[in-house]
Amino acid sequence: MNTKLKPHKAADRIYLFDNVKWLAIVMVVVGHAIGFLTEASKGNQLEKNLFVIIYSVHMPLFIFISGLFIKPMDKDTKIPKDKIIAFIAIGIVLRAFTAILRILLGKHDYFYSVMDMYDSYTWFMGAIAVMIFLTWLFRAYSPKIVFPVVLLVGCMAGYDKFLGDQFSLMRIVVFFPVFLIGYYLTPEQILKLNSNKWLKIAAVLVIAGFVTLCLMNKDFGATFRPLFTGRNRFTVLKKDQYPFGAFYRLASYGISALMGLSVMCLVPNKSLGYITKMGAKTLQIYFWHRMIIMIMEHFKLYDMIQSRTGSTIATAVYILLAVGVAFICSVPPLSFPTKQLLGIGKRAQKQS
């Protein structure tokens, strides 16, 4: 980790990170699609294992890359209002669009989908805005001081009864160390790792080992599933695990770091055609995908498929449909309104 931050080199888009973001956003869509199948009383163990694998890595990857491409700041750097305003605006508009959809689907709690302070799938937008602000706030302090403190707070947060879904505070505190690691590193450092053939071999072993662990040990998935989401207090752990919650959190950080590094080592740094282009559109995909999944859930599409095929095949088909949703959400017309809201943020920065 560099203690003195260097400006990122000006260059064209790096294929590696767009490809990684494509994989991460597909995992986000699939994870949201199968989430209802993994509740304690539903789904089979394969679905629950897949959920744990997805959640161990997809949001940490997004948050890491978000930090990676924040320009280094010093004590004279002005607050990056463009990004903060844009992410807050996107989160508010997303809640409003979701509320309208809930009205159309006959839901009666639509007001709270806009005004409720509790966590929802829109949490990512507000959380990134806060993380950018906090990074700016700590910009003049040494990473050797800031990161250990932030990591300690992230590990201990699960004991705090005042942190939780309110304003996504728990997720902000838990995932902020991941954002900071990205900020303290540079894209060039990650590219060097991606080009190391021995790390690629190690990455295959790490992913294979983790998948095997999830498949072979039900208790592992049951323990770490609520930790990987970043939103839960340690009260979700068993009574004898609770005193060691901070160590379980540290272990979840380690697993996510290993899985994320492995993914970035294995994903190719070359153009994959439309897949790479989708990686540059993850914000608009995130904005629209959950609303399409809500419609699928409202009309009980999974139940319709299951009644004709059986649960395992139905899950496979549903996952393929979720991947299709990601592709649908990447089409140019659906760049509205995220493109326009990002523009508002840029204009606000220029006026300051």
Per-residue pLDDT tens for 251-308? 999 999 999 999 999 999 999 999 999 999 999 999 999 999 999 999 999 999 999 9
For the chain, what's the residue count? 352
AA letter at 292: I
| pLDDT band at residue 10 using 50, 70 and 90 as cut-offs | very low
Q: Is 304 helix (H, G, I), strand (E, B) or coil?
A: helix
The C-alpha atoms of residue 227 and residue 233 are separated, in whole angstroms, by 8
| pLDDT band at residue 103 using 50, 70 and 90 as cut-offs | confident
pTM of the model: 0.93
Residue 117 has pLDDT above 80, yes or no: no
Residue 113 has pLDDT above 60, yes or no: no
Query: 29 in a domain, yes or no?
Result: yes
Q: How many CB atoms are located within 10 Å of the residue 4 CB?
A: 7
Residue 6 has pLDDT above 80, yes or no: no
The C-alpha atoms of residue 257 and residue 254 are separated, in whole angstroms, by 5
The vertex-79 CA angle with 74 and 80, nearest 5°, equals 105
Query: 82 in a domain, yes or no?
Result: yes
- Give me the DSSP letters along 72-112: P--TTPPP-HHHHHHHHHHHHHHHHHHHHHHHHTT-S-HHH
The C-alpha atoms of residue 17 and residue 276 are separated, in whole angstroms, by 9
Query: 1 in a domain, yes or no?
Result: no
Query: 30 in a domain, yes or no?
Result: yes
Residue 345 has pLDDT above 80, yes or no: no
Query: 5 in a domain, yes or no?
Result: no
- Kindly state the tokens that stand for 57: 């890595």
Mean predicted confidence (pLDDT) in 140-145: 95
Residue 152 has pLDDT above 90, yes or no: yes
Helix axes 169-184 and 143-156, enclosed angle (nearest 10): 150
Mean of the per-residue pLDDT values of the chain: 90
Q: In which domain, by residue range, is 92 found?
A: 15-351
Tens digits of residue pLDDT in 245-267? 999 999 999 999 999 999 999 99
The C-alpha atoms of residue 206 and residue 132 are separated, in whole angstroms, by 31
| pLDDT band at residue 310 using 50, 70 and 90 as cut-offs | confident
> What is Dmax (Cα atoms) for the chain?
63
Q: Which runs of consecutive H residues, i.e. helices, occur in 167-281?
A: 169-184, 187-194, 197-216, 218-228, 245-266, 274-279
pLDDT of res. 33: 94
Number of domains in the chain: 1
Tens digits of residue pLDDT in 26-81? 999 999 999 888 875 555 788 889 999 999 999 999 999 999 999 889 889 999 99
Query: 176 in a domain, yes or no?
Result: yes
Higher pLDDT, 21 or 103: 21
- Select the highest-mean-pLDDT range: 6-20, 91-105, 295-309: 295-309
Query: 260 in a domain, yes or no?
Result: yes
| pLDDT band at residue 109 using 50, 70 and 90 as cut-offs | low
Query: 129 in a domain, yes or no?
Result: yes
Percentage of the chain with pLDDT > 70? Answer: 91
pLDDT of res. 8: 47
Residue 352 has pLDDT above 80, yes or no: no
| pLDDT band at residue 151 using 50, 70 and 90 as cut-offs | very high
